[in-house]
Structure 1
């Protein structure tokens, strides 16, 4: 036990991080190409196209809320494997959908499976990361989601253009299907901790534990960040068509590079300096990235925009998650991780719908220009709460400034 309290790079941590990468890779390879495929296949309007993203996200959100009490009664391994199977089956059936309605129902099914799996895995990881290295550990674990978010859409768009949608869904099915043998063969799912078993026996007392209000600020900031990402995921391919830039998918490649660089650095900076040292410069960088993207008409500008977005996005996400985890007790980590990923999905869903409406009324370039100002709102919210002495800015840990 002492080893696990001090060691970060355990077998369980590595395998769970890799499994989370595969889960999110399946999601991200299909998320960005989906609007293009749906529009070409079924010719729906822009709002209906946005439902491909938003209905999945809303289904995942509802599922995660349901999973909080369920995890106290059903073994988490059962929830994890069931969620992976549902996500894999839904992915395999996408290319057989004969109507937009069936496609949307399959997106909801995928959201349910994804919500189950993405609630359990981060909870397992947060329980095996040493408390004093939570920022660093979440930073490395979060590389799985950020890397998938960065390279997944690029892979998806490339496979869709070169090999067609059925082959893309096959690749996604293989990606999520590898999770079960990876975890079971290597026996990397950590055992049910004694603390959790004790909590299960006194669930009525645990249920009365007050909701940690300190996590509301980082959760709200994560929503705002995810609104901008909803615009990137949902409409970047269509924006490329608008500005006649065939290499638009390279945005995700260069975005991935800076995400990989900044993730570990931002985690250690959070552990030593607190959230302000990370979030303020990162928000300004994302603002500059989106503003530059809205004026992009050439590959060099696109690359600079992508590098900046990855730098800011890759710093903000692990910081908000580690901040939320540090503010709560271990038995609340399931709820916290659920809330964290729900804020991402909620932000992406809202961003996809609202920015889609804005793009229909104006243009994609104007839409990205407006979305950049969301990050100014992000900064204002953070600074105002800091000035008011919010508990979220002054946690129990003395060094979290």
Structure 2
């Protein structure tokens, strides 16, 4: 028995490589820079005389430019470009927060936020594509789940770090640290030796910038991201207004749960398919929002954070794996960029709609209305996405027949 088990272990495809570890660390820098700026940006806008609605418009503008540019980044990546794209992204992610320090003016802050969105588009499209290059296919969903741990760690560290720096040292120190984190990402990426991708040059047209195979997973994620856009932009201010524990505690609990899900359940998509996560994660986020809307208290605030962590921790890597796992060297960039476009659209619209709803109807109504996105996301998956050829669940069901 021991000999058999040893033989099985030796034939298990190797998942952890030097390049995978390094690209996870680069992704950690990308999302720490992004999230520490994101969680504090409504306060920055408020300090410049703006309102929640203006903060929502900034979230929408951030995502709008990301959506516009991301398909072209995907086309560029599909033509074999990796290193230059990520360098551009990290440079912009360093310059934007530096600009917040140098030019603290409301109108220019919105412009700089859009530049920050361009930097994020270049950066996380490329890190996801490099990760897709280096992860072995038999353990692909598991590997993408571990790659997504960088987002979990950043979600745990960055809001608390950003809010602490803002409260104790001010916006100059906060955004100075964010810029330095982007520089750290550049240094780490210089040590990555991802496989060289030699592909035929692809013409720039609609078919090469939008990956049709990834659309079912993308649209399912897009609608779900309405909730995450509202949550990340406004839960900290909501907690302050309601006298609840700080937003940094909410993000810390949410991220701890998110990390736990990705460490313990990462293999489930490879083994059972994505359907389990689509249904349970949307249900968890629905309850998390209804608790914020109708039962705000310290215990329900913490429970909401745990449910939100499970929801995003399980759904995002499972749907990204679904969107990308059938792609080739020639389509991997567009598959990642198409999926992340959906992520950006949902996130931006969620933040923008939430800001308008807060201004016109208040926080409770906003949480309740935005929670309906979870119902729509499940309906899209049930009636369309689960029947697509990219569905892990469909493929596993066919194998069992």
TM-score (norm 2): 0.90
Per the TM alignment, residue 246 of structure 1 is displaced from its structure 2 partner at its CA by 4.6
CA deviation digits over 1:239-294, x for unaligned, max 9? 12321225232110100111011113443111011111221112111111111122
State how far apart, in whole Å, the 1-side matches of 2:295 and 2:218 are: 31
Q: Give the distance between the partners of 1:206 and 1:73, measured in 2 at CA.
A: 13
Counterpart residue number, 2:53: 47
**Residue of structure 2 equivalent to 1:235:** 234
Q: How far does residue 96 in structure 1 lie from its aligned partner after superposition? A: 2.0
**Could you give the per-residue CA deviations for residues 125-160 of structure 1, whole angstroms, max 9, x where no partner exists?**
101111111110000001112332343223212221
Structure 1 150/374 Cα, relative in aligned 2: closer, same or farther at 3 Å?
Answer: farther
Residue 94 of structure 1: aligned partner: 100
Give the secondary-structure state (helix, strand or coil) at the position aligned to 2:244: coil
Residue 246 of structure 2 is aligned to residue 247 of structure 1? yes
* Local SS of the residue matching 1:249: helix
CA deviations over 1:212-233 (Å, ceiling 9, x no partner):
6442221111112211011111
Any idea what SS the aligned residue of 1:290 has?
helix
Is residue 321 of structure 2 the alignment partner of residue 322 of structure 1? Answer: yes
Partner of 1:29: 36
State the distance in 1 between where 2:374 and 2:227 align.
8
Report the Cα distance in structure 1 between the residues aligned to 2:87 and 2:122, rounded to whole angstroms.
9
* 189, 192, 195: which one aligns with 2:196: 192
Contact 1:212 1:328 in 2 (8 A): no
**Which is worse superposed, 89-98 or 159-168?**
89-98
Q: Could you tell me whether the CA contact under 8 Å between 1:270 and 1:319 is conserved in 2?
A: yes
Structure 2: 5+ residue stretches without partners = 1-9
SS at match of 1:44: coil
Contact 2:216 2:385 in 1 (8 A): no
The DSSP-based 3-state class of the residue aligned with 2:331 is helix
How has the CA–CA distance of structure 1 residues 174 and 204 changed in structure 2, closer, same or farther, with 3 Å as cutoff?
Answer: closer
Contact kept in structure 1, 2:26 and 2:189, CA below 8 Å = yes
Say whether the 8 Å CA contact 1:136–1:264 is kept in structure 2: no
- Alpha carbons of 1:74 and 1:386: their partners in 2 closer, same or farther (altered >3 Å)? closer
8 A Cα contact 2:71 2:209, kept in partner? no
In the alignment of these two chains, the number of paired residues is 390
Matches within 5 A, 1:42-81: 42-71=48-77, 75-81=81-87
Which residue is 2:358 aligned to? 359
Q: 1:130 is matched with which residue?
A: 136
| 1:206-245 map, 5 Å | 213-245=212-244
Alpha carbon RMSD of aligned pairs, Å? 2.6
Residue in 2 that maps onto 1:112:
118
CA contact (8 A) 2:56 2:353 kept: no
- What 5-or-longer segments of structure 1 have no aligned partner? none
Residues of 1 paired with 2:154 and 2:334: CA distance?
A: 23
Question: Is this contact kept in 1: 2:129–2:332, CA < 8 A?
Answer: yes
2:19 touches 2:193 (CA, 8 Å); kept in 1? yes
Question: 1:266·1:319 contact (CA, 8 Å) conserved in 2?
Answer: no
Q: TM-score, normalised by structure 1?
A: 0.90
Matches within 5 A, 1:298-313: 298-313=297-312
Q: Which residue of 1 aligns with 2:282?
A: 283
Cα distance between partner residues in 1 of 2:348 and 2:153: 20
